Chain A
Amino acid sequence: MKLKVFGQLVDLIGSNCIEVIDVNDTDKLIQQLQSKYPLLKNSKYRVAVNRNIIQSNTILKQDAEIALLPPFSGG
């Protein structure tokens, strides 16, 4: 599955798009990402599945497109 990240999360993860495997829901995905990128725990962001911002744990199908959207403040 493709995971896209935006804003300051690109620096944190090291790329704006990575492959994620072996996760079947968004809670597990976040756990996996946090153990790989511990700084993510201190970051604010929202998770989107297939471009919809999700409000609770969401099942991930094999072709799901996931994205992490952080807040920006610049103007």
Chain B
Amino acid sequence: MNRDKKYERYERQISLKEFGIAAQQKLLQAKVLVVGAGGLGCSALQYLVAAGVGTIGIADYDVVALSNLHRQVLYSVDDVGLFKADVSAKKLRRLNDKINIISYNQRLTNKNALAIIKHFDIVIDGTDNFSTRYMINDACVLLTKPLVYAAISKFEGQVAIFNVKQNGNETAISYRDLFPTPPKDDEVLNCADAGVLGILPGIIGTMQANETIKLITGIGKPLIDAMLTYNALDNSVYEFTLSLNIEAQQWIPKDEDAFLRMDYDWLCSAEINKVFEIDIADFDKLINDSNTIIIDVREEDEQPFVDAFKHLRISAGELKNNVSLLEKDNIVVFCQSGKRSLKAALLLKEFFNDKHIYSLKGGITEWKKQHALQTDEK
């Protein structure tokens, strides 16, 4: 291919004097891995592909759902149920067939992350959970790969570049310098729980792509050692200056072996909790369901005594010896506050991989409280 033809599709950005042919060549040689082809990923990917980043990896193990379409704009109704990594790669190849797009149709974990990330220069975090975010951060620290981070919540987004040394610092700042450990319990909601304005990941994902392009080409001032927050409701932008945190280093695995031994899911138990926990409204729907069995896993003498709905009483410690009693498809466990029942749910899941296991969030304390409130309102 002659040179003019090769660069024709990029001529509008090459004609920028700050950009030029040199920046385009850097882009074409760059290898960027996008983890998560959701809201952020769909948006970042389109512009990185269009801009001519030479090699782009897409890692995602999820399938397209109808409720994704309001923000994950690479997908159509016909794609519902199909793997995001495959669908996005196919669509993006139509946008730019001159670059190399590799889809990783698998969940990125600490078992495969290093092997995959090694092939790339820059990683973009577009994931939707803390366990993967911390795992990617640690992998990038170990491999000294720049991490272009973004995350969203309702109407707000955060963007930052981690793991790039600046100002003569010996150590680069990572996400753990900002938040050394993930939040416990389920204090931070993801998009599924908190909701998100569809356009927000569009805006934040394109900012992520922009930071990536700046980082590769060396133009402008990338968000190194800084975190930008954007609020879609009032268009406010706030930039935080980040600094090293002595606490961070103790949490980052020291080497590859330590990284492989990490249990990121456990570290972010909140993410697992969400799989099992149900709220009062959903719990009440299951009370009269003939295919559901409800178990109080508190000790025998624990108050309050519950007679408002039919249930079995098997203490958490005895549960293991009584699994044969649990013949229904849905098993719901509750305790005083929801903590023991959550552990019980995890245990039951080991016995019954094919059953639906739920734990009442907030326990019977919260259930009684909510029902007392409802009675008062009447």
Contact = CB atoms under 8 A, between A and B. Distances in A.
The answer to whether A binds B is yes
Contact of B188 (A4, A52, A69, A73): A73
B151 interface: yes
Contact of A52 (B40, B133, B152, B241): B241
Given A7-B156, A46-B178, A46-B179, A72 B238 contact: no
B52 interface: no
A56 to B, nearest CB: 10
Interface in A40-72: 42-44, 46, 48, 51-53, 55, 67, 69-72
A53 B179 CA distance: 11
B54 interface: no
B29 interface: no
Interface residues on B, range: 35 or more
Contact of B239 (A4, A42, A51): A51
B146 interface: no
Interface string B238-269: 11111111100000000000000000000000
Interface string B129-140: 110010000000
Given A73-B129, A75-B36, A75-B126, A51 B153 contact: no
* Chain A CB within 10 A, most for which of B130, B185, B194, B239: B194
A44 B36 CA distance: 24
B323 interface: no
A74 B191 CA distance: 5
Classify chain A: how many residues form its interface, as a range. Answer: 20 to 34
Contacts of B241: 48, 51-53
Given A4-B238, A46-B178, A53-B178, A75 B243 contact: no
A7 B156 CA distance: 7
B188 to A, nearest CB: 5
B127 interface: yes
Contact of A74 (B178, B196, B227, B246): B196
5 contacts: A7-B154, A8-B153, A8-B194, A51-B239, A69-B178
Interface of A: 4, 6-8, 16, 42-44, 46, 48, 51-53, 55, 67, 69-75
